Amino acid sequence: MDRYAVIGNPIAHSKSPLIHRMFAEQTGQALTYEALLAPLDDFAGTLRGFLADGHGVNVTVPFKEQAWALVDSHSAAAERAGAVNTILRQADGSLLGDNTDGRGLVRDLQTNAGIKLRGARILLLGAGGASRGVIQPLLAARPSQLCVVNRTVDKAEQLATLFNDLGPISAAGLHWLEESVDLIVNATSASLGGEVPAISPKLIRPGHTVCYDMMYASEPTAFNRWASEHGAARCVDGLGMLVEQAAEAFELWRGVRPETAPVFAALRRN
């Protein structure tokens, strides 16, 4: 069977193996998919070891930018993002890197959650690989404003400069902003450690602002608990994004697009 895997640190919480097993059953594809914990100082070794005979890899926190540097070629989405979350070992053995995160996020926001992005004021928390991967698709949805907020302001400003030809993007520090927005997307991994980025609760307009955490857990994430306590109209976690970006990766690997709705529903039930 063709072998696939997701590589990250931490990785024990990942639902990707279950998602891809359901995709494979649904589409009649013969494959295996596993979760691999990579040492923080040797992602490259783990990646190369698996792809010696593996066919494809998903990459998660904190290795997406490292993955970009290790592949032989990039899709247009990955090239612009500077981050890779999906790798295909091609017939000649070369590695193609793609980034399906942004497409997965926008599809989850618009199609699954019914959130309007056109004309919205959006705050994006974090300036790492997760943020880089979603900025281009978010700007393509035509928001009125996209502000990247990060503890280290320089990193946020670098991203704003990198993408400023695509739409209205700006940068700020965690403590700079207090005016409410329509949508806050948490692209940091703080929730995995039970923490919340130190932003002002005034960014949430009670009963109006939607908060979206790209992380997910069986219980509400720390960020979504904080958002709910401060009156967010809705709090959505990243499970739908995970399913949607996985479907993009599956299609790249196998040439067939799985249906995401039944998989998302099954995960929510469990």
- The C-alpha atoms of residue 55 and residue 219 are separated, in whole angstroms, by 33
Residue 129, Cβ neighbours under 10 Å: how many?
Answer: 25
Residues 106, 96 within the same domain: no
Determine how β-strand 86-89 pairs with β-strand 56-59.
Answer: antiparallel
Give yes or no for a cis peptide into 10 (omega within 30° of 0): yes
Name the residue with tokens 């609760």: 201
Whether 174 maps to a domain, the answer reads yes
- The SS3 of residue 184 is strand
pLDDT tens by residue, 42-60: 999 999 999 999 999 999 9
Give the amino acid at 187.
A
Residues 227 and 145 occupy one common structural domain: yes
Same domain, 30 and 121: no
CATH code of the domain covering residue 138? 3.40.50.720
In this structure, the answer to whether residues 148 and 173 fall within a common structural domain is: yes
Mean pLDDT of 188-204: 91
Q: Cis (ω within 30 of 0) for the bond into 17?
A: no
Same domain, 224 and 144: yes
- Note whether 158 and 140 are same-domain residues: yes
- Give me the chain's average pLDDT, please: 96
Give residue 123's domain range. Answer: 102-239
- Binding-site positions read 14-16, 60, 85, 101, 126-130, 150-155, 214, 216, 238, 245
Question: For 182-207, what is the mean pLDDT?
Answer: 93
Task: Tell me how far apart the alpha carbons of residues 59 and 63 are, in angstroms, rounded to a whole number.
Answer: 6
Could you tell me which residues are annotated as the binding site for shikimate?
14-16, 60, 85, 101, 216, 245
Same domain flag for 118 and 205: yes
Please give the annotated binding residues for NADP(+), written as ranges. 126-130, 150-155, 214, 238
- 208 and 130 housed in the same domain: yes
pLDDT per residue as tens digits for the range 139-184: 999 999 999 999 999 999 999 999 999 999 999 999 999 999 999 9
Q: What are phi and psi of 80, to 5 degrees?
A: -70, -40
Which amino acid is present at 91? A
Answer yes or no: is pLDDT of 189 > 90: no
The DSSP output letter for 204 is: B
What is the set of active-site residues? 64
Round to whole Å and give the CA distance between 167 and 170: 10
226 and 249 in a single domain? The answer is no
Domain assignment of residue 20, yes or no: yes
In the sheet with 145-150, reading across from the earlier edge strand, the strands are 169-173, 145-150, 121-125, 183-186, 210-213, 234-236
Q: What percent of the chain has pLDDT over 70?
A: 100
Residue 216: per-residue pLDDT: 86
**3-class secondary structure, 68:** helix
Number of domains in the chain: 2
SS3 for 190?
A: helix
Q: Which residues pair with 157 in a beta bridge?
A: none
**CA separation for the pair 100, 90 (Å, rounded):** 18
The yes-or-no verdict on residue 192 having pLDDT over 80 is no
Residues 92 and 214 in one domain: no
pTM of the predicted protein model: 0.92
Q: Do 132 and 228 belong together in one domain?
A: yes
Determine the Cα–Cα distance for residues 236 and 213; give it in Å rounded to an integer.
Answer: 6
